[in-house]
Amino acid sequence: MHEGQLRHSGEPYFTHPAAVAAILTEMRLDDATIITALLHDTIEDTRSTWADIATLFGREIADLVDGVTKLTNLQLSGAHSKQAENFRKLFMAMSRDLRVILVKLADRLHNMRTIRSMRPDRQVQKARETMEIFAPLAGRMGMQWMREELEDLAFKVLNPEARNSIIRRFVTLQKENGDVIPKITADIRVELEQQGIDAEVFGRAKKPFSVWRKMQEKQLSFSRLSDIYGFRIITRSEADCYRALGLIHSRWRAVPGRFKDYISQPKSNGYRSIHTTVSGRDGTRVEVQIRTRQMHEVAEAGVAAHWAYRDGERAWNPFAVNPADWIENLTERFGEADHDEFLEHVKLEMYSDQVFVFSPKGDVIQLPRGATPIDFAYAIHTRLGNSCVGAKVDGIRVPLWTRLKNGQSVEVIAASGQRPQATWLEIVATGRAKAAIRRSLREQDRSRFIRLGTELTRAAFEHVSRKMTDKALRTAARSLALPDADELLARVGSAELSVSQVINAIYPELAKPQDEIDERRAVAGLQADQEFTCAPCCNPLPGERIVGITYRGKGVVIHAIDCEVLADFEDQPGRWVDLHWREGRHPATYATHLSLTIRHDPGVLGRICSLIGQQGANIADLEFVDRKPDFYKLRVEVALRDREHLHALMTALEAESDVAQVLRIRHPDRRV
């Protein structure tokens, strides 16, 4: 069917499906998955149909090929709302048969291996999609080797200079110290043999992207980075794993806080291993992973180990997880969320590492890294989460925003009259907790919002000389994809939906240019007599997530949700106010500071100022920070409408050939 078709490289197209099938064969997957890999592009790229494949290969394979085809047509990067909708479709496909995703991941891996034959702009798009979606998904499924290779291939496209610099540093390090990997491997083997432990030992340098990410996260230079080498010990039994651990810790000094036991507390994808970091030869820090052969097979294949074959027979592995149970655990409560919430939950689940904590009864609760006692409470039961008023960790009373650590014992203090607070949304880390809190908040405010929404909507109908009837409300709700009129009125009352959107849904011909929002009413969530000001430390813009801090005599000061100053108020939760910007067109009065590096040529500054004016932004202040013979560095204060206005302005400036760099800057020194 692919006869006559060529890849971008000029090779026959069939080399691609054959290579995808080879990747899955190396993973020892079942016949149906490998056949699907060979056929995965036939429905999309040839005249073959589902019926043709079903006739020749059976319904199971036809459905798998059809599933891969539908995934290929999903645009997983792009507009936020479309991305959220397509993520939902992706996870629906996963829930029907996880092998569809395995074929898609292998397809993406081969495409990334041969990406250099594509146009540069397509390379960047595919690499970014791989880094943001497919690599984390492979990691979440337990296929760490695939995650690392996908990340490194994408890194090679997105930041080749950084990758090459790390590779050069590895080469320099090897010249200075020799190849330490075989030396340390030999040291470990000798120790194991002396203790009579039969095991295999492997060592490797970590991938460039893994090193780069650690440098960025810890803000360290390469020379200060530790544990850039990793070693694996594959033993015959679980008991030998712990014997090997004792031997490693007695021979080399263990690094505090760098020990994890995933054998006694396995990850949800079946991963089991002991991780420890020690100071090895010449003080070099190395990470050591210890596991059995069966654990290693699951660590390499992840969820895919369920379908593994060996010598033509199904390879039973006691550590392989049931894919149906895994996907149910991953997508728990996703069905209750709207598109935006779903996307938020998916990314929380895909990108998070895990911690294991204990309930008072000794049950182990698995949570994402960064989880709080509120997340723990909701993991036990929604009712417990809703009624949570405090928590004890290892017997000591702690604030609800405390980040939990591995091995801690957590006890939730509950009260029957308690209800979730809006500020909890910024504290919790799990999708389950966020969904339950939002649902409770909506229920608490629903009747009040419906009454307020009714009055606002009635006034809007009268303004356009129309009568607000039940039928009109039902029609508007249906047009806006809402379940009923009450939900529509509740969203209007909570400012999630504007009355102009309701009117426009029924009478689009009456739509008028959006009126500018009164600056004094730009924020929803304040009390009637409360005034607000924007914090100069972060200069929040409409469209950004915000929170308010109350001050005596000053009303409420609004901060961006990621403002560093908010850390000063963590022990004063009573001063926090949950706020959001009203939808609509805001006046261009919100101060934003930009750092510009521009070419030092005649007329350049004038052109840049004119460009800013053409974008509808007003320059309030301009300061020269640094003057070089060929470049100027400026700090410019501009007045903008909202986040979208900022994005449009920065895009226009970045496109200007005389602008070397444009950055938004905050002012952490100017505290309120």
What pLDDT is recorded for position 118?
86
Q: Which residues pair with 254 in a beta bridge?
A: 278
Residue 53 confidence (pLDDT): 92
Out of 36-50, 145-159, 257-271, 628-642, least confident range: 257-271
**Strands of 546-551's sheet in order across:** 532-534, 555-560, 546-551, 576-578
Cβ contact 339:84 at 8 Å: yes
**pLDDT value at residue 234:** 95
Q: Average pLDDT, stretch 360-375?
A: 83
pLDDT band of residue 670 (cuts 50, 70, 90) is: very low
Residue 228 has pLDDT above 50, yes or no: yes
Lowest mean pLDDT of 73-77, 81-85, 134-138, 584-588, name the range. Answer: 81-85
What distance in Å separates the CA atoms of residue 148 and residue 139, rounded to the nearest whole number?
A: 8
For the ranges 109-113, 137-141, 277-281, the one whose mean pLDDT is highest? 109-113
Query: Does residue 86 surpass a pLDDT of 60?
Result: no
Active site residues: 44-45
DSSP state of 516: B
Say if strands 396-398 and 364-368 run parallel, antiparallel, or are unpaired. unpaired
The burial class, CB within 10 Å (0-12 / 13-18 / 19+), for 537 is buried
pLDDT in tens, 314-352: 666 677 777 666 666 655 544 555 545 555 555 555 545
Contact between 505 and 476 under an 8 Å Cβ cutoff? The reply is yes
CB neighbourhood size of 88 (10 A): 19
What is the C-alpha R_g of the chain?
A: 29
Residue 283's pLDDT is: 66
Cα 243 to Cα 221: distance, rounded to the nearest angstrom: 35
What pLDDT is recorded for position 567? 86
pTM of the predicted model as reported, rounded to 2 decimal places? 0.53
Per DSSP, helices labelled H in 464-577 are 470-479, 485-493, 499-506
> CA 413 to CA 399: how far, in whole Å?
11
pLDDT band at 394 (very low <50, low <70, confident <90, very high): confident
Lowest mean pLDDT among 24-28, 504-508, 548-552: 504-508
The answer to whether residue 495 scores a pLDDT higher than 80 is no
- The CA–CA distances, whole Å, from 513 to 388, 501, 510, 614 equal 46, 12, 10, 20
Residue 633, classified by CB atoms within 10 Å of its CB into exposed (0-12), middle (13-18) or buried (19+), is middle
| Range of 327-331, 380-384, 446-450 with top mean pLDDT | 380-384
pLDDT at position 287 over 70: yes
Which two three-digit tokens encode residue 461? 């109908």
Helix (H, G, I), strand (E, B) or coil at 261: strand
Query: What is the arithmetic mean of pLDDT over 569-584?
Result: 87
Strand 523-524, strand 580-581: pairing:
antiparallel
Least confident of 110-114, 481-485, 592-596, 647-651: 647-651
Give one DSSP letter per residue of 206-253, joined into a string: PPHHHHHHHHHHHT--GGG----EEEEEEESSHHHHHHHHHHHHHHSE
Contacts 24+ apart (CB under 8 A), 60-65: 60/32, 61/32, 61/35, 61/36, 63/97, 64/32, 64/33, 64/36, 64/97, 64/99, 64/100, 64/103, 65/36, 65/39, 65/40
Give dist(CA 145, CA 139) in Å, integer. 8
pLDDT digits (tens, 9 = 90+) for 179-195: 778 888 898 999 999 98
Residues recorded for the chain: 672
Look at residue 80 and tell me whether its pLDDT is greater than 50.
Answer: no
Average pLDDT for the chain: 82
Q: Which two tokens stand for residue 73?
A: 């047509």
Q: How confident is the model at residue 81 (pLDDT cuts 50, 70, 90)?
A: very low
pLDDT, tens only, 413-432: 998 878 888 889 888 888 78
Beta strands 229-235 and 199-205: pairing type? Answer: antiparallel
Domains annotated on the chain, with CATH: 15-158 (1.10.3210.10), 175-306 (3.30.460.10), 352-429 (3.10.20.30), 437-510 (no CATH), 514-672 (3.30.70.260)
